């Protein structure tokens, strides 16, 4: 039985993964780099600045920008992303999420958000579900991002539940790897390709049987 639930945000709780893709593509086009959905998979779960580095390497432009240029490019991408976020409302919560967090609340099972996104607190607030989460990991406090286990270990620590008694929900390959290295049961939410390293793969969180998770 799970004593704590740890959630990635983008692509698990809300479909902002597509917005990240649109915003990165817009920025990449401006600096003459093209990339497709397949490459975008490798950006999921990866911090803003690391995503930019990967895009620059992909476009063979890793040596074309100074540190300051890169900071500005990352800020520009975030401004595009924030524009897109203006549109989100509680209707954008992905199917199955509310049922899970409501069940967890009734059973006194604490939930936490473990997302690389610095926008996570604002998004959760916008979705009207902030009260369901006992903790949101601040990615700025971490030494390493996903696939390192640090973020999920931190989330478990913040809700005072040992990692092996938690269940984690992730849509990114890097996120599943992070969960597994942390010793946490990993549920993979499939968007495009499969997530073979997950303990359980679902296409939607509506497939989750809370009786099995909580009892
Ligand atoms: C999540 C997303 C990534 C994104 C990262 C940082 O992990 O899956 O695509 O790059 O958060 O998001 P931020 O909102 O801080 O730019
Ligand atoms: Mg995600």
**Could you tell me if 9 and 22 lie in one domain?**
no
Q: What are phi and psi of 5, to 5 degrees?
A: -120, 130
Q: What is the residue range of 194's domain?
A: 4-15+89-214
Among the bound ligands, name the one nearest to the CA of residue 41. 1
Total domains, the chain: 2
- State pLDDT tens for residues 39-62: 998 999 999 999 999 999 999 999
Rounded to whole angstroms, how far apart are CA atoms 44 and 41? 6
Q: Which stretches in the chain have pLDDT values below 50?
A: none
pLDDT of res. 129:
98
pTM above threshold 0.80: yes
Q: What local confidence, expressed as pLDDT, does residue 153 receive? A: 98
What's the confidence (pLDDT) of residue 10?
95
Atom of ligand 1 nearest to the CA of 20: 9
pLDDT at position 136: 98
Residues within 5 A (CB) of ion ligand 2: 8, 10-11, 171-172
- Statement to judge: residues 115 and 38 lie in one domain: no
CATH code of the domain in which 56 resides: 1.10.150.240
Same domain, 135 and 191: yes
Kindly state whether residues 108 and 202 are assigned to the same domain: yes
Mark whether 115 and 202 lie in a shared domain: yes
Same domain for 96 and 80 = no
Q: Do residues 101 and 56 share a domain? A: no
Alpha helices in the chain (DSSP H): 17-30, 37-41, 48-58, 67-85, 97-106, 120-126, 150-158, 173-181, 210-214
User: Does residue 178's CB lie within 6 angstroms of at least one atom of ligand 1?
Assistant: no
Q: Which position among 10, 92, 138, 199 bears the catalytic label?
A: 10
Instruction: Considering every ligand atom shown, identify the ligand nearest to the alpha carbon of residue 19 and give its number.
Output: 1
Is 21 in the same domain as 102?
no
**CATH at residue 138:** 3.40.50.1000
How many angstroms separate the alpha carbon of residue 9 from the centre of ligand 1?
A: 9
Q: What is the pLDDT of residue 79?
A: 98
Statement to judge: residues 62 and 105 lie in one domain = no
């Amino acid at each position: 039985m799970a004593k704590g639930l740890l959630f990635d945000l983008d692509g698990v709780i809300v479909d902002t993964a597509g917005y990240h893709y649109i915003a990165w593509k817009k920025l990449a086009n401006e600096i003459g780099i093209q990339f497709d959905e397949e490459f975008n998979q490798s950006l999921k779960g990866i911090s803003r600045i690391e995503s930019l580095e990967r895009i620059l390497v992909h476009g063979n432009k890793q040596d074309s920008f100074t540190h300051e240029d890169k900071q500005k490019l990352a800020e520009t991408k975030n401004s595009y992303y924030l524009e897109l976020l203006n549109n989100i409302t509680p209707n954008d919560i992905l199917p199955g999420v509310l049922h899970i967090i409501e069940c967890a609340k009734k059973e006194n099972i604490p939930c936490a958000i473990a997302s690389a996104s610095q926008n996570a607190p604002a998004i959760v607030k916008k979705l009207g579900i902030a009260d369901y989460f006992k903790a949101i990991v601040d990615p700025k406090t971490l030494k390493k991002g996903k696939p390192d286990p640090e973020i999920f270990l931190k989330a478990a620590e913040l809700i005072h539940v040992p990692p092996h008694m938690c269940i984690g929900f992730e849509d990114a390959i890097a996120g599943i790897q992070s969960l597994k290295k942390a010793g946490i049961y990993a549920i993979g939410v499939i968007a495009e390709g499969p997530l073979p390293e997950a303990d359980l793969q679902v296409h939607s969180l509506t497939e989750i049987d809370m009786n099995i998770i909580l009892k």
